[in-house]
Amino acid sequence: MRKLLLLLFFCPVSSPVKHTLKFFFTGSTGISDFPQFVGAAEVDHMQLASCDSNKKIKPKQDWVKKIIRSDRQQLDWYKEECFVIQPNFFKATIDHLMKRFNQSGGVHILQRMSGCEWDDETNEVNGFMQFGYDGEDFIAFDVQNLAWIAMKPQGVTTKLRWDADKAGIRHYENYLTQICPEWLKKYLDYGRSSLLRTDLPSVSLLQKTSSSPVSCHATGFYPNSAVMFWRKDGEELYEDVNHGENLPNHDGSFQMSVDLNISSVPPEDWGGYECVFQLSGKKNKIFTRLDKDPIRTNSEGLSYTTNPATVVIAVVVVAVVVAVVGFIF
């Protein structure tokens, strides 16, 4: 039996990486048995902590607990933001928007994503803040020009009112360009064993049936920034190729796949095709040659995964993060 050709090039090099710290806040009305306000924080797609209007802060990583114990300022900030400032702000804003849109009742949701991105090589910092209302983009903060941008006509009134609040604009500028990057660097330092690690994946060829596309599936890699593609005779393919999503695993690693339609590829030409995986900014590559023998199929009684222990999609990622990211992306 021919074996799957798997070549690893171990030539590690240092490369610039952009790290992000994001805060997700969601206020709602009309939803029974659900907190009116919930929040979550994440660094590089790893959830740090969550909180809600029931006055509970839940660290998700051991090193986050260490930060909270050693830095009273951060604990006080989270308590004030999660239990006082943001719940009151979100409730007042939802009430205001419901009146403006002539909404007398029902379920309404206001969401905010804010944070910063830091390039560890150039030291460049980019802050961002965006609001969504009832599942649609509503208004965003332009950090460069220190002004709000209405993302739909109904947001113009809010833009004019918030633009006039000069103290609020200065506060957001300081928060996004000074406080956020400082905290991001602190988190990276405390959590470097998990946040700054590099894990290469296991790669498998999967196929549902003999006539289905062949899926090149990589799982267990970290960080989540990676590229994977099919190529023929050294040239990347764009036709008959379908790229899947980059999805989280339950253990904090990630998985992704890229499908190749082989309906028009005769078996004797398979040897010229290979799947390439590479973590962004790294030189390490994994080449997986298209070969019939190693392909795993449903007909073999196998699930459409490589390793059930690591491939299971992390559906237990906090629901608030999923809901918030939905309206933005």
CATH of the domain at 88: 3.30.500.10
Q: pLDDT tens across 161-183, in order? A: 999 999 999 999 999 999 999 99
Question: Cα–Cα–Cα angle for 283, 284, 290, nearest 5°?
Answer: 125
The domain boundary, picked from 162, 194, 226, lies at: 194
Same domain, 179 and 213: no
What is the pTM (predicted TM-score) of this model?
0.70
Question: What whole-number distance in Å separates Cα of residue 100 and Cα of residue 69?
Answer: 43
Residue 2 counted as domain residue: no
Residue 328 in any domain: the answer is no
| Same domain flag for 284 and 250 | yes
- How many structural domains compose the chain? 2
Residues 219 and 260 in one domain: yes
Q: What is the pLDDT of residue 148?
A: 98
Lowest mean pLDDT among 12-21, 38-47, 262-271, 272-281: 12-21
State yes or no: pLDDT of 9 exceeds 90.
no
Shared domain for 236 and 294, answered yes or no, is yes
Shared-domain flag, residues 252 and 172: no
Residue 320, pLDDT above cutoff 50: no
Region label for 19, one of left (φ > 0), alpha (ψ between -120 and 50) or beta (otherwise): beta
Q: Are residues 72 and 172 in the same domain?
A: yes
**In this structure, is residue 254 part of a structural domain?**
yes
Q: Determine what percent of the chain is predicted with pLDDT higher than 70.
A: 85
Give the rounded distance of the alpha carbon of 193 from its chain centre. Answer: 19
CATH number at 245 reads 2.60.40.10
Structural domain boundaries, residue 204: 197-311
**Burial annotation 33-54 (CB, 10 A radius, 16+ → b, else e):** eebbbbbbbbbbbbbbbbbbbe
Say yes or no to pLDDT of 324 above 70: no
Q: Is residue 139 located within the same domain as residue 221?
A: no
pLDDT at 16 over 80: no
* Within-domain flag for 11: no
Q: Is the same domain home to 189 and 231? A: no
Closest CA to 259 of 218, 318, 219: 218
Q: Specify the pLDDT at position 314.
A: 32
Summarize pLDDT for 214-245 with one digit per residue, the tens: 999 999 998 888 999 999 999 999 999 999 99
> 162 and 208 share a domain?
no
Closest CA to 128 of 175, 81, 82: 175
**For position 7, what pLDDT does the model report?**
32
Question: Are residues 39 and 188 located together in one domain of the fold?
Answer: yes
Pair (183, 219) in one structural domain: no
- Among 88-102, 105-119, 313-327, which is the least confidently predicted range? 313-327
Write out the two tokens for 307.
């390793």
User: Is 52 part of a structural domain of the chain?
Assistant: yes
